[in-house]
Amino acid sequence: MWNMEQFRKELAEIVNLDSSSENLQDIAVIGRMLANRLRDEGYLVETFDEDTRIEARTHSEKDFDVMFVGHMDTVFPKGTAAERPYREEGNLAYGPGVTDMKAGLILAIHLAQRLREERPELRICFAFNSDEEIGSGRSKTWLQGLAKHTRYAFVFEPGRLNNGFVRSRKGGADLEVSFQGIAAHAGVAPEKGANALVEMARWITELTALQDFDAGTSITAGIASGGTAVNVVAEHAQVKLDIRFKNPGEIERIRETVSRLQQNPVVSGVSAGVVFKDVVMPMNPSEVTEQLMEKMNQAASGLGQSICWIDTGGVSDANHIASLGVPTLCGCGPVGNDMHSSGEYLELDTIEKRLELMYRLIVQL
């Protein structure tokens, strides 16, 4: 029913091709490969950004029933595929991006193939991008534009251990603050200076105090730098903070504090420049999504499978789609672990289980 030999052959082929987010030429090789396959299978295919984004449909209508979302990029630099090519050891497969998320791409294509055979009226749309690992800045608008026309969205990020799916994802943002002070000799005339480091320390302390772990809000100062010498009042300082939040209102609370700090410096003579980057809203299940989750539970039970639902702080393209109110399930790919590391692996025996479970769910929608 499912051709596992062919699946593993196709998976090995694309795992052995580099596709870091920064190297669009490499991603385009995979993009052309997948686009040509979909064309050969009769899909209506369009590619964008020199074959680094794929949109493929079963029907010409503007609206569709299900949207299959995936990303072709990985976090691994050029040359990694040659250093660590696809290999199998027992029930595990290894290689850069094997789980995150090249197995998910292949699974989506195989799943759609069977759905088309048995439900030819089902309107399917593929949306594969090339910049998910760096925030989907190039493709977010495109993804959301497509998502407005689907009944359901399925994101084929890795399945989680113990046959897990992702129930919710936190929102996130990067906050970069640069401080401009006044340099002075620390021994001769410190009073003439305005210490950018001191102002930065105040920002870090006050922003960190906004954390509310129970509410799912964290603010982490990850990188900080400043000053030029121990005997010079620091003229410059910079800090980069990672922000995560479950409640959409939290990002506004943080913005308000940032505005207050910027307008009211403690160190006279220091100014702060603020940049919020890559703001992504959280993926929290709506009532309709919870109904879809219950259908998944029922499908799993009918197959004798036990599944679980995971809440995570990581961001994916599911955030962009779910924020529109579209019923969205994430983690629909085969199960794997240790993503973004040299030990990343895929559990081979979960491929067929996921195919059967996703088929059983979608065929009844």
- The token duo for 256 is 């308000």
- The token duo for 171 is 């929102």
Q: pLDDT tens across 274-327, in order?
A: 999 989 999 999 999 999 999 999 999 999 999 999 999 999 999 999 999 999
Q: What is the pLDDT of residue 71?
A: 98
User: What is the CA angle 356-358-364, rounded to 5?
Assistant: 100
Answer yes or no: is pLDDT of 51 > 90: yes
Confidence band, pLDDT 50/70/90 cuts, at residue 270: very high
Confidence band, pLDDT 50/70/90 cuts, at residue 56: very high
Q: pLDDT tens across 162-197, in order?
A: 999 999 999 999 999 999 999 999 999 999 999 999
- Residue 233 CA to residue 56 CA, distance in Å, equals 58
Tell me, yes or no, if 73 is annotated catalytic: yes
Q: Which of 293, 291, 289 is nearest to 319 (CA)?
A: 289
Q: Which domains does the chain have, with CATH numbers?
A: 4-169+282-363 (3.40.630.10), 171-280 (3.30.70.360)
- Other residues' Cβ atoms within 10 Å of the Cβ of residue 231: 10
Mean pLDDT, residues 125-133: 98
Query: Which of 26, 51, 132, 250 is flagged as catalytic?
Result: 132
Region of 110 please: left (phi>0), alpha (psi -120 to 50) or beta.
alpha
Mean pLDDT, residues 24-49: 98
Mean pLDDT, residues 251-265: 98
Q: What is the pLDDT of residue 103?
A: 98
Q: DSSP secondary-structure letter at 214?
A: G
Query: Which of 55, 65, 73, 250 is flagged as catalytic?
Result: 73
Mean pLDDT, residues 208-226: 97
Q: What is the pLDDT of residue 278?
A: 87
5 alpha carbon, distance to own chain's centre: 29
Confidence band, pLDDT 50/70/90 cuts, at residue 34: very high
Mean pLDDT, residues 138-149: 97
Alpha helices per DSSP H over the chain: 4-15, 24-40, 80-83, 103-118, 140-147, 196-208, 250-263, 287-302, 317-322, 349-363
- Residue 193 CA to residue 78 CA, distance in Å, equals 46
Please give the mean pLDDT across all residues of the chain. Answer: 97
Mean pLDDT, residues 59-69: 97
Q: What is the pLDDT of residue 123?
A: 98
Answer yes or no: is pLDDT of 83 > 90: yes
Answer yes or no: is pLDDT of 1 > 90: no
Structure-model confidence comparison of residues 122 and 1, the more confident one: 122
Mean pLDDT, residues 98-115: 98
- The H or E element that residue 89 is part of is strand 87-89
Confidence band, pLDDT 50/70/90 cuts, at residue 233: very high
Query: Dmax of the chain from CA atoms?
Result: 83
Answer yes or no: is pLDDT of 15 > 90: yes
Mean pLDDT, residues 222-236: 98
Answer yes or no: is pLDDT of 264 > 90: yes
